[in-house]
């Protein structure tokens, strides 16, 4: 039936949602409808369709916020129309962004927390691009001053998130990815020397490796770079990708030295929408001090009749997430963040103990020392099923627990990872553990995943 014919069917404004003409059709997928429809009907149909996405709180794969205070929802709605780039029109949103930058610079122990540069971004990916660009520009400036060629920059890192591959490709930098050693959860200091040279713009250290959830030893990496400088004269800065750890370590591992307390750390990125507890769409990039951000990368926008420096890949962006970030910082304070993150860590450790006790698993990371998460693999002597089978069985109960291979050099190892976030309680994780035990029983009996595996994986 053509769409105009549908809308011609008589509609009564008191129709039940599920007897309206629109609800009695398959929704258009390739062409915009000619006519208008009742907003409530469209809302209800879309609402129902999106339930197919599953329940975000049962998504144990994501690092991102899936739970927000009512106040956050209200602030987001109230500020829906505000464009954060219009600093002149929305000076108070700009002010709130600036407060967040300096609060984070202070949290990460910048020696110049009140004057340093930083900005909000759409997430850590954009923040990583900006951090990488600043490294590249500073390296180039130094090379040019010394009269040396500056056309073959490289960046050294361990098992990084895909955003660093993007940075390298988009901005013409060679990514020297150090292979993951057997038994290691990230880059190790003794591996560095072999990979750095005069064209190295920086080393990326990860506070919360995406694959394993463990921290890379930033202080030890910095000490190794100190030793390399003493031996070779190469002065190589560190950018810390603290996408997740930037909002965990300051609260629950305060003695871990990973941030601007290390002179070699020149910039840090973190995701406000991960353990920063803000809704999706905000990340942060902060430099140790203003001089670390090359002037050539800064654009001035008009702001209250003056100029405001900006540095971003995007232009228009919503202001609500930034406001929500400031709300969370104010609402929870250091004590509140500590409590929320510690509760997540305690629950992750509980889950780690349950997993360890089940028998067939070997933990890669047990929730101690880094992110509120657990990662594990099947013991080598387990046969008859694999982690993908388990993922599939858990999915039947709504749980999203992904299985995936480790990075290229260790690809033969498949692991599972469970992230515990704000809004995921102990009881929910206990139910997940019960479901894993039940699934293991089924898998040991050979059913039903055996049949499924044949069907789905040939």
Ligand X SMILES: *Cc1c(COP(=O)(O)O)cnc(C)c1O
Give the one residue of 97, 216, 224, 241 binding ligand X; rule: CB under 6 A: 241
- Our finding on whether 246 is near ligand X (CB under 6 A) is no
- State the Cα–Cα distance between residues 269 and 219, nearest whole angstrom: 17
Sole residue written with tokens 């030793």: 227
Q: Are 279 and 325 in contact (CB under 8 A)?
A: no
Q: Contact between 63 and ligand X (CB under 6 A)?
A: yes
Helical segments of 51-152, H only: 70-78, 91-107, 124-145
Beta bridge partners of 362: 377
Q: Quick one: 241 or 321, whose CB is closer to ligand X?
A: 241
Instruction: Answer for the pair 158, 178: CB distance below 8 angstroms, yes or no.
Output: yes
Q: Looking at beta carbons only, is 101 or 206 nearer to ligand X?
A: 206
CB under 6 A: which stretch of 206-214, 335-343, 379-387, 435-443 binds ligand X?
A: 206-214
Binding mask 160-179 for ligand X (x = CB under 6 A): -x-x----------------
Site string for ligand X, 300-339 (x = CB under 6 A): ----------------------------------------
d(CA 435, CA 427): 12
> Measured from the CB of residue 243, what is the shortest distance to ligand X in angstroms?
3
Residue-by-residue DSSP string for 88-117: TT-HHHHHHHHHHHHHHHHHTT-TTTTT--
Stretch that binds ligand X, among 118-126, 333-341, 349-357, 442-450 (CB under 6 A): 118-126
Among the listed ranges 123-131, 146-154, 378-386, 442-450, the one in contact with ligand X (CB under 6 A) is: 123-131
Using CB under 6 A, which of the segments 100-108, 120-128, 180-188, 250-258 binds ligand X? 120-128
Q: Residues 407-446 vs ligand X: string with x where CB under 6 A? A: ----------------------------------------
243 near ligand X, judged by CB under 6 A: yes
59 belongs to the binding site for ligand X (CB under 6 A):
no
What is the C-alpha separation between 111 and 114, in angstroms, rounded? 9
Task: State yes or no: residue 96 binds ligand X (CB under 6 A).
Answer: no
Residues in the chain: 458
How many chain residues bind ligand X (CB under 6 A)? 15
Say if residues 72 and 273 touch (Cβ distance below 8 Å).
no
In terms of CB distance, is 208 or 367 closer to ligand X?
208
SS3 160: coil
Calculate the CA 16 to chain-centre distance.
Answer: 42
- Smallest distance, Å, CB 241 to ligand X? 5
Least distance CB 91 / ligand X (angstroms): 27
The closest residue (CB) to ligand X is: 123
Write the interaction track for ligand X spanning residues 124-163; mark x where CB under 6 A is met and - where it is not.
Answer: xx--x--------------------------------x-x
**Tokens representing residue 63 in the block:** 């690092």
* Buried residues in 159-191 as b, exposed as e (16+ CB within 10 A): bbbebbeebbeeeebebbbbebeeebbbbbbeb
Query: Rounded to an integer, what distance in angstroms lies between the CA atom of residue 223 and that of residue 286?
Result: 22
Under 8 Å CB-to-CB from 79, ≥6 apart: which residues?
A: 93, 318, 319, 320, 323
206 contributes a contact to ligand X by CB under 6 A: yes
Q: Where does this chain touch ligand X (CB under 6 A) — which range of 94-102, 203-211, 329-337, 381-389?
A: 203-211
Distance CA 270, CA 248 (A): 10
Residues near ligand X, by CB under 6 A: 63, 123-125, 128, 161, 163, 206, 208, 210, 241, 243-244, 271, 283
């Amino acid at each position: 039936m053509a769409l105009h014919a549908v809308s011609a069917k008589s509609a009564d404004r008191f129709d039940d949602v599920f007897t309206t003409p629109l609800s009695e059709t398959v929704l258009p997928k390739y062409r915009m409808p000619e006519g208008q429809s009742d907003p409530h009907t469209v809302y209800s149909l879309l609402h129902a369709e999106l339930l197919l996405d599953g329940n975000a709180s049962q998504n144990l794969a994501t690092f991102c916020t899936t739970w927000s205070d009512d106040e956050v929802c209200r602030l987001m709605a109230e500020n829906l129309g505000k464009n954060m780039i219009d600093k002149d029109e929305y000076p108070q949103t700009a002010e709130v962004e600036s407060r967040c930058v300096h609060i984070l610079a202070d949290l990460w122990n910048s020696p110049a927390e009140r004057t340093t540069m930083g900005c909000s971004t759409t997430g850590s990916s954009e923040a990583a691009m900006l951090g990488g660009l600043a490294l590249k520009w500073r390296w180039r400036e130094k090379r040019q001053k010394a009269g040396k060629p500056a056309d073959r920059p490289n960046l050294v890192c361990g098992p990084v998130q895909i955003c660093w591959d993007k940075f390298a490709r988009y901005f013409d930098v060679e990514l020297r990815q150090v292979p993951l050693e057997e038994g290691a959860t990230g880059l190790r200091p003794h591996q560095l020397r072999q990979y750095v040279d005069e064209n190295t713009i920086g080393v990326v250290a990860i506070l919360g490796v995406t694959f394993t959830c463990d921290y890379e030893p930033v202080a030890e990496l910095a000490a190794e770079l100190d030793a390399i400088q003493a031996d070779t004269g190469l002065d190589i800065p560190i950018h810390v990708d603290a996408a997740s750890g930037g909002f965990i370590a300051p609260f629950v591992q305060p003695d871990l030295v990973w941030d601007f307390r290390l002179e070699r750390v020149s910039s840090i990125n973190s995701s406000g929408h991960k353990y920063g507890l803000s809704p999706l769409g905000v990340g942060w990039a902060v430099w140790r001090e203003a001089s670390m951000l090359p002037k050539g990368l800064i654009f001035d926008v008009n702001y209250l009749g003056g100029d405001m420096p900006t540095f971003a890949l995007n232009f228009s962006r919503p202001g609500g997430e930034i406001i929500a970030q400031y709300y969370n910082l104010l609402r929870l304070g250091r004590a509140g963040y500590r409590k929320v993150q510690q509760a997540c860590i305690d629950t992750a450790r509980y889950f780690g103990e349950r997993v360890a006790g089940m028998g067939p698993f070997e933990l890669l990371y047990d929730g101690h020392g880094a992110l509120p998460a657990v990662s594990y693999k099947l013991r080598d002597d387990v046969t008859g099923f694999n982690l993908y089978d388990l993922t599939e069985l858990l999915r039947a109960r709504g749980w999203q627990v992904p299985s995936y291979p480790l990075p290229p050099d260790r690809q033969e190892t498949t692991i599972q990872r469970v992230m515990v976030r704000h809004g995921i309680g102990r009881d929910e994780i206990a139910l997940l553990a019960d479901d894993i035990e039940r699934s293991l029983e089924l898998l040991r009996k050979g059913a039903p995943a055996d049949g499924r595996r044949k069907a789905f994986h040939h």
